[in-house]
Structure 1
C-alpha cells in the first residue's frame, strides 16, 4: 500500500512546470532548484459515518528553493511558477485527475489553497511554498 505522501509526490512529479530538480519529502537543502512536499498537522477526518467509512484530508505544503536576488525577472519567474502550478492543480481537479490511491481510498478533490508565497530567503536563494489539500473517502474497517 502506497502512502498518501508517496502518491501525492508521484502525482506532482507530473506537473509540466517543474524544472529539472530534485523532488524531496520533508526536506529542502537550500540550493536551487529543489522541490519538497511536507505534511502539515491537521485533523485528517472531515466527516465520519456509522459504517466506519469517512471523508478525510491530507494537507501538505508544496515548496521549492528557487534562485533569488535583486533581479526582478528572476523573482517574477518564481511567482509565475506558483501561479502556473496552482492553475495546473485546479485543471487536474476539474478533470477529475487525481493521485492514485490504494483500494480503500478514493480521491475526491485536490486543491492548491491560495498562491505560493516567499517563506524565507538568502542573498541567492529563496524558499517558496503553497498549502495544498487532497480530500478522499476511506472505506470503513
Structure 2
C-alpha cells in the first residue's frame, strides 16, 4: 500500500518530479520526502461486519525536509506548502480521487502538519504530516 500512497502523493503539484521521495528513509538535504508506515493495533481493523468484511485504517506519516532560515519568507513558504498539501488531500477526498488501494473509502490529514526538528546549523527543517486511509478488506 505504501507504494500506492507514494505514487498518489507525487501527484501533488508542489512535489516536483526531481524531488527525492523515499519510503522509510529521509535524506538530510532539502527538498526531500519520505513516507513512514505507522504501526496499528489489531492490524488496523476498525470493524468486522457480519459478512466477514473488515473496515480498516492505514496510517502513514509524510516527512518533509525543507530549507530553513531566519528569513520569514522561507518559513512562510514551508507553511504554505503544508497548508496547500492538507487542502489538496481534502479536495481529493471530496472528489473521491484516491491512491490505488482496493476498496478505499476515504482519506484525510489526521495530524496537523508541524515542525519536528531543525538541523544543528539551522539551514534545514523536518516537518511531519499524518495521513489516514480507510478501506474495506
Name the TM-score, length of structure 1 as normaliser: 0.89
Aligned to 2:88: 88
1:53-108: per-residue Cα shift (whole Å, max 9, x none)? 1010110111110000211100110011000000000000000011112xxx3010
Q: How is 1:105-124 mapped onto 2 (pairs within 5 angstroms)? A: 105-122=102-119, 123-124=122-123
* 2:27 counterpart residue number: 29
Structure 1 Cα separation of the partners of residues 69 and 54 of structure 2? 46
Q: Distance in 2 between matches of 1:55 and 1:87?
A: 25
Aligned residues of 1:82 and 1:115 also touching (Cα < 8 A): no
| CA distance in structure 2 between the partners assigned to 1:114 and 1:120 by the alignment | 16
| Pairing 1:132–2:131 present | yes
Indicate which of 36, 39, 42 corresponds to 1:38. Answer: 36
Mapped to 1, the partners of 2:6 and 2:111 lie a distance apart of 19
Aligned length: 132
Shift of 1:41: 1.5
Q: CA deviation at 1:114?
A: 4.0
Give 2:61's aligned residue.
61
Pairing partner for 1:7 from 4, 9, 13:
4
Out of 112-121 and 21-30, give the one that drifted further: 112-121
- Deviating above 6 A after TM superposition, structure 1's stretches of 4 or more consecutive aligned residues are none
Query: Structure 1: where are the runs of 5+ without partners?
Result: none
Contact 1:60 1:133 in 2 (8 A): yes
Consecutive unaligned residues of structure 2, counting only runs of 5 or more, are none
User: RMSD across aligned C-alpha pairs, in angstroms?
Assistant: 1.1
Partner of 1:76: 76
Q: Tell me how far apart the structure 1 counterparts of residues 107 and 28 of structure 2 sit (CA, whole Å).
A: 27
